[in-house]
Structures are given as C-alpha cells and as structure tokens.
Chain A
C-alpha cells in the first residue's frame, strides 16, 4: 500500500472515529485518556462549588441544583474534545449550566402549574416587621421569572460584568444590560406588592 493511501486510510478512520490503536500506541492512548480525566477532575474541584451554588440560587432548590450541575458536568465531559480553548472553560461551562437550569425550570414550571392547588395558603402569616429582610428578598426573588433569576444570580452571585453575562446568556451586551435592569425593576415591584399586601393584612 502506498504511503499516501495509508495516510488517507488513517485519516478517514480517525475522521470516522474508527481508528484502532496498535498495541504499541496503547500506553500513549491510556496516558492521554488519564490526562483528560485528571484535567476534568481538576476543573470539577475548582468550579463545582461555585456553579452548584449558582444553580441553587437560580433554581431555588438545592437538590434539583445537584442534578442540574451533575447533568451539566456530564455534558461537559461528553463534549470535552469540543472545548477548543481550555482557558474559556468558564464561559463554555457557564452556558451549559444556564441552559441546563433553564430546561429544568421549564419542566419544573409545568409540574408546579399542576400542583398549584396544593400550595395555596402556603405562605406564613408573618407580618413584614417580624420577617428578616433577607427572607423577604429571597421570597420575592423566587417569584421572579427564571430568566430574571438567572441574570440576577449571574450578576450578584458570580459578580459577572454585563459583557460576561452577555457571553454566558448568548445576548448582546446592550440586551444583557437592559434585561438586568428590567429584572431588578421587577424585583422591586414584587417587593412593593408584598409590602402593600402585608400592610393591608
């Protein structure tokens, strides 16, 4: 077989994912595989807590957040080879986490819509004055739309700048700034509504 044909065949096999390593190549392949696993685990150790907590804030449920982050890391591992610039891992993985949370929220919203009758009267009859401020804010935050919660969490938990939020959410910077502003406004409105209801009560 001509050398050109051999190279062409090898290239085709590689392109199709069919390449079979010769026995002498096996240690090198094992080593590469081990290095990839190590790199993945290093990034897990570095980033898991941060993204898990981000997911917990966005989803408002620590257990669901565990599943979301696990699923996001599964996707990241499966697509490891498509991460062309390791330095951009955070932006790449941030998108995966945000998209995973978004999908879970949509699914959860359907479930909540079915079970809403069970939730009536859930709210405790505490007056505003006796409820710590953080709980008031957190309750209002949970009543925001998922998109609002996501952008507020990226800004006020991860402390991302608007340009970085835009990258993670797949928006233009101006759109990200506008959405962030609107999300804060909606939070303010929810807080005002709550304060009015509590005052009437």
Chain B
C-alpha cells in the first residue's frame, strides 16, 4: 500500500468511525433499561448443569461410583427419539414423557420462528479403553458442529422386550471456535448399533446457541443429523418413567 492509498484508507476509516458513532448516538435505549432490569423478576435462571465445572478427578468418581450398569425401568424408544425430531421439525408441542415440563427452554414457536439450521454428517468413534468412554471425530455439513468428540455412558443392566439396551451419558464436541456440551440418551440395538439423541449447549463462539443431534450406526461409522438453533436447551432433558435418571458419568476436563 503506497502513501496515497494509506491516506485514503485512513480517511475512509475516519469517515466510517464518525458515521457509525453518529448513528449509535442517535439510538435511544429509552425504556429498555427498565425492561432488561426486570428480566430476573420474570425469567428463571437455568439451573446449573451437572457437567458444568466438574473436574476430571473427584467428579469422575462421583459419576461413576457404583456399577457402570444400572437396573431400572427407564424406556427410551426409537419412536420417542423420532418424535422429538419430528416435533422440532414441525414446530409442534413436545408430548413425550421422557422430557419433563420444559419451563423455559426453546418453545416450539421459538424454534419455528428463529433461524435454525439442519445439519448432516458422520462420525467415527472408538472405545476409550482406559476411561471407559468413547472418543472420535465427527464431520458435519456445518463446521460449527464438527470436531473432536468425547462421550461417557451408562447403560441399563439388561435389554428391554424389544432387545434394546437403554444407554445415556454426556458428550462434548470441541473445535477451534468453541465447545458443545450436554447429555444424550438412547439405546443399543440388538445388532450393536447405537441410536441416541443428544441436546447440547454451545460455548465459546457458540454462546447462545444450542444443538440437537441424533446419531445412528456402529461406533466406527455413525450417521449424524441435527439442528443448530438460537436459544437454550430445556431445563431437564432426560427423565425416565420413574424419575430422573442416574447422572451420566461426567466428562473429563476439556
């Protein structure tokens, strides 16, 4: 850039700065202060997720105390998983008993109105033999939800009548721009294929966004579909027929 270009550049920057500041000064927040200050009176803060702030040492033990498998009557069928996707896609009401009274999460209307993005992709995962989790990478049609994946898991002690084993856990998807963390639930099909749905909160560059993902397939070759949308995940995602599930094993520190 020569001296003339340099002067032009500075001149343009100065004009732009002046114009932007004038426009900004013209914007009057008016009653916005009061409106925003009253938010705590009408909006419930989201309860802190159990995976927030957990360290890999004590908390790992906390989540894993007792056996890896657990008895119970929790059900999480393919029909319910499909229904959640359908409910989101169609903007209809959640009517699934595995989701307990979402009080402040993404209402169907909000999901339908906001800019949400459907994504597809695949993943290759393998068992972390040392820690009992699953790790790998996923590549999606939108880079924001691609990256390194680490997942922990719990499972029922036995299969249900259809031969499916209920499983659940926590997942972290990490890339250079940010992280998605949350819980998933689903089942292992009789032939060993995993079928699960996870609901994740974005952080880093993805602050304020949530990601709903469905996975299906063998660990080494998983098909993934999902939705990225603005807003939060529901306060409680996974709930069994007889109450909340045992906490999924916590993720190791990222």
List which B3-58 residues lie within 8 A (CB) of chain A.
9, 12-13, 15-30, 32-33, 35-37, 39-40, 43-50, 52-53
- Among the stretches A22-30, A91-99, A115-123, A193-201, the one at the interface with B is A91-99
- Docked Cα-Cα span, A156 to B203, in Å, equals 26
* Chain A nearest CB, measured from B106 CB (Å): 11
List which A40-64 residues lie within 8 A (CB) of chain B.
40-41, 44-45, 48-49, 52-54, 56-57, 62
Interface size, chain A (Cβ < 8 Å): 62
* Chain A nearest CB, measured from B118 CB (Å): 14
Cβ 8 A contact of A41, one of B17, B37, B50 = B37
Q: Does A165 contact B (CB under 8 A)?
A: no
Residue of B nearest to A139 (CB): B19
Residue pair A157, B24 in contact (C-beta under 8 Å): yes
Which residues of chain B have C-beta atoms less than 8 A from A74's C-beta? 39, 43
Residue pair B207, A137 in contact (C-beta under 8 Å): no
Cβ 8 A contact of B207, one of A8, A18, A96, A141 = A96
Which residues of chain A have C-beta atoms less than 8 A from B104's C-beta? 78
Cβ 8 A contact of B43, one of A48, A77, A191 = A77
Residue of A nearest to B15 (CB): A137
Residue of B nearest to A184 (CB): B12
Decide yes or no: A54 and B24 within 8 Å by CB, A44-B33, A48-B29, A152-B16 being known contacts.
Answer: yes
Cβ 8 A contact of B208, one of A14, A36, A100, A187 = A100
Residue pair B114, A40 in contact (C-beta under 8 Å): no
* Chain B nearest CB, measured from A44 CB (Å): 5
Residue pair A44, B205 in contact (C-beta under 8 Å): no
Which residues of chain A have C-beta atoms less than 8 A from B40's C-beta? 36-37, 40-41, 77
Which residues of chain B have C-beta atoms less than 8 A from A65's C-beta? 27
* Chain B nearest CB, measured from A98 CB (Å): 9
Residue pair A170, B20 in contact (C-beta under 8 Å): no
* Chain B nearest CB, measured from A85 CB (Å): 11
- Docked Cα-Cα span, A79 to B230, in Å, equals 13
Q: Does A114 contact B (CB under 8 A)?
A: no
Which residues of chain A have C-beta atoms less than 8 A from B47's C-beta? 17, 81
Residue of B nearest to A38 (CB): B40
Residue of B nearest to A54 (CB): B24
Residue of B nearest to A8 (CB): B65
Residue pair B21, A157 in contact (C-beta under 8 Å): yes
- Among the stretches B131-139, B189-197, B231-239, the one at the interface with A is B231-239
- Docked Cα-Cα span, A79 to B52, in Å, equals 11
Cβ 8 A contact of B24, one of A12, A57, A69, A95 = A57
Residue pair B36, A48 in contact (C-beta under 8 Å): yes
Which residues of chain B have C-beta atoms less than 8 A from A188's C-beta? 12
Cβ 8 A contact of A66, one of B20, B29, B50, B177 = B29
Residue pair B15, A66 in contact (C-beta under 8 Å): no
Decide yes or no: A172 and B176 within 8 Å by CB, A48-B36, A78-B104 being known contacts.
Answer: yes
- Docked Cα-Cα span, A40 to B41, in Å, equals 12
- Docked Cα-Cα span, A55 to B209, in Å, equals 18
Decide yes or no: A70 and B35 within 8 Å by CB, A49-B29, A56-B23 being known contacts.
Answer: yes
Residue pair B48, A81 in contact (C-beta under 8 Å): yes
Residue of A nearest to B175 (CB): A170
- Docked Cα-Cα span, A62 to B20, in Å, equals 13
Which residues of chain A have C-beta atoms less than 8 A from B45's C-beta? 36, 77-81
Residue pair A16, B209 in contact (C-beta under 8 Å): no
* Chain A nearest CB, measured from B71 CB (Å): 17
Q: Does A106 contact B (CB under 8 A)?
A: yes
- Docked Cα-Cα span, A99 to B25, in Å, equals 22
A-B contact pairs, 12 of them (CB 8 A): A14-B50, A36-B40, A44-B36, A45-B33, A53-B25, A53-B27, A65-B27, A77-B39, A78-B44, A92-B207, A137-B19, A184-B9
9 tightest A-B contacts by CB?
A170-B205, A56-B27, A15-B50, A17-B47, A53-B24, A137-B19, A81-B48, A170-B177, A95-B207
Q: Given contacts A17-B235, A82-B48, A99-B207, could you give 14 more A-B pairs where the C-beta distance is less than 8 Å? A: A44-B36, A44-B37, A45-B37, A48-B32, A56-B27, A57-B20, A66-B35, A70-B32, A79-B201, A79-B207, A134-B22, A137-B15, A141-B16, A156-B21
